[in-house]
Structure 1
Amino acid sequence: MKSIFLKSTFFTLACIAVTLPMVLGTIRLLGGTIDAAAYILPIICPLLMGFPSAFYSLWQREKLKRAHEDLSRAHAQLAAAHRRLSEKASRDEMTGMLNRENFFAALDGSRRKSDRGALLIIDADHFKRINDSFGHLTGDQALLQIASAISRGVRSGDILGRIGGEEFGAFLVGASADEAKLVAERIRAEVEKLSFQPDNERSVPLTVSIGGTSCPVEANVSELMRAADKRLYEAKARGRNLAIFNDGISEAA
């Protein structure tokens, strides 16, 4: 408000500074007499009309500026909330990984940008036993530990998703077959060394079976899933706690 008052005062004084010489000069040209009224009118009129008009205009301008700032702030907050909601909707609520739909969407999008990569399907071994023996809440705790171990095993930039109850997907962006085998084995080992004690007494082993496949350019997501699932079933059939990638196999020591 102080700023508006000062600006209005400056505008009014400027009007007086311009109007007064013009009025006096006009009176002289017309041969009139310059008296007190000749000075008073060019001063009074800007004061009575110019100052209120300038003050009102500047006040309205300031209101519009603040309204625009409030609107911009609200728009930014709305956009941030929308991003948070979109991010939350794309994630598995428990593990924070991408949900099934968004994992496959990200996999498809990544493959459009690169002709290299590998897909791993990771399944927790004997997980039903944990749920049946200790309850689903304890099973969720075990699943969170497994999810953390998987996250530690992959590389920066790889895409992770929870694609089933106790099944996870990992797309290793740009990975060669050899790199993918190393990552698969690292994930298997990270899970195997977990210390899970649901009753604070005995330790329950946690392991995963992993099936993986390279991603040829021409293969679609369904074909990649079938290929990785085939390796996963093979790992299960061969005793679990295995990482099988195409024809390569990495077993527990």
Structure 2
Amino acid sequence: MVRIFGKTLAVAALSVVASLLISFAFVPMLGGKVAGAGLVMTIACPIAVSIPASLLHFWQAERLRLANSALARTRDDLAEAYTRLQHQARRDALTGLLNRAAFLADLDARSRAGVHGGLLFLDVDHFKSVNDRFGHATGDAALNVIGTVLASLSRENDLAGRLGGEEFAVFLHEASPERMLAHSQTIREAVEAIDLDTPAGTRIALGVSIGAFHCAPRFDPAEALAASDRNLYRAKSAGRNTVVA
């Protein structure tokens, strides 16, 4: 409000100066003299007109400025909330990895882009017994830490997702068959080394069986997943906590 009054007084002062300049420039030319009541009117009239008009103008301008600022903040908040919701809609709430729909959509996009790479299908070994023996909270903790391992081992363009239950999938962007196999073993060893204890202090042994399949450019996502799933079944049959490609 102080700024509005300051601007108003400045406009009033300029109006008085302009009025005096005009009066002293033209009144003598018309044979008159700026003095007495005429001088008072020269000063009073611009003050009487400019102050209320300027107050109204600057007050409305300030209201508009504040409204625009509030609108801009609201727009930014909505944009941030939309971005956050988009992110959350693609993420598995427990592990923070891509959820099934987002992983399959991104895998399909890689296929259409002509990308090749390694597709890993992972299943946590004996997970039902973890839930049965130690409770679902402990089982959730195991899934969460496995998700953390997968995320930490992924490169920038790799995909890591939870397909459901204790099943995970990883797509290694532009990976060679050799890198695919090496990364699979790295994941298996990292999960095996997880130090997860129950509230009672009992260490929980974790392991994953991994079915790997190398995808050529323009691969069929459904066929690639089916192939990696078949290899996962072979890994389970071979004794679990192993990799089959």
Hey, what's the Cα distance between the residues in 2 that align with 1:217 and 1:9?
74
Deviations 1:95-152 (A, max 9, x none): 1111100111122223444522221111001111222222222221222232223233
Hey, what's the Cα distance between the residues in 1 that align with 2:227 and 2:4?
73
Deviations 1:8-30 (A, max 9, x none): 22212212212222223332222
Aligned position for 1:212: 212
Change (3 A) 1:5 1:202: closer
Hey, what's the Cα distance between the residues in 1 that align with 2:86 and 2:29?
75
Aligned position for 2:83: 83
Q: What amino acid is aligned across from residue 67 of structure 1 in structure 2?
A: A
Aligned position for 1:167: 167
Identity among equivalent positions (%) equals 37
Aligned position for 1:46: 46
Change (3 A) 1:26 1:154: closer
CA offset at residue 235 of structure 1?
0.8
Q: What amino acid is aligned across from residue 40 of structure 2 in structure 1?
A: I
Aligned position for 2:139: 139
CA offset at residue 228 of structure 1?
1.0
- 2:115–2:173 CA contact under 8 A, matched in 1: no
Aligned position for 1:251: none
Aligned position for 1:189: 189
Is structure 2 residue 30 aligned with structure 1 residue 30? Answer: yes
Instruction: Give the 3-state SS of the residue equivalent to 1:16 in structure 2.
Output: helix
CA offset at residue 239 of structure 1?
1.1
CA offset at residue 168 of structure 1?
0.3
Q: TM-score, normalised by structure 1?
A: 0.89
Mark the runs of 5 or more structure 1 residues left unpaired by the alignment: 246-253
Aligned position for 2:108: 108
Aligned position for 1:222: 222
Q: What amino acid is aligned across from residue 148 of structure 1 in structure 2?
A: T
Hey, what's the Cα distance between the residues in 2 that align with 1:201 and 1:2?
67
Q: What amino acid is aligned across from residue 239 of structure 2 in structure 1?
A: G
Aligned position for 1:70: 70
Choose 160-169 or 17-26, whichever is displaced more. 17-26
Number of residue pairs matched by the alignment: 245
CA offset at residue 202 of structure 1?
4.2
- The RMSD of aligned alpha carbons is 1.8
Hey, what's the Cα distance between the residues in 2 that align with 1:201 and 1:57?
73
Aligned position for 1:151: 151
- 1:158–1:173 CA contact under 8 A, matched in 2: yes
Deviations 1:159-192 (A, max 9, x none): 1110020000111112111111111110000111
Hey, what's the Cα distance between the residues in 1 that align with 2:78 and 2:152?
34
- 1:159–1:171 CA contact under 8 A, matched in 2: yes
Q: What amino acid is aligned across from residue 40 of structure 1 in structure 2?
A: V
Hey, what's the Cα distance between the residues in 2 that align with 1:34 and 1:143?
92
Hey, what's the Cα distance between the residues in 1 that align with 2:199 and 2:47?
86
Hey, what's the Cα distance between the residues in 1 that align with 2:51 and 2:92?
63
CA offset at residue 87 of structure 1?
1.4
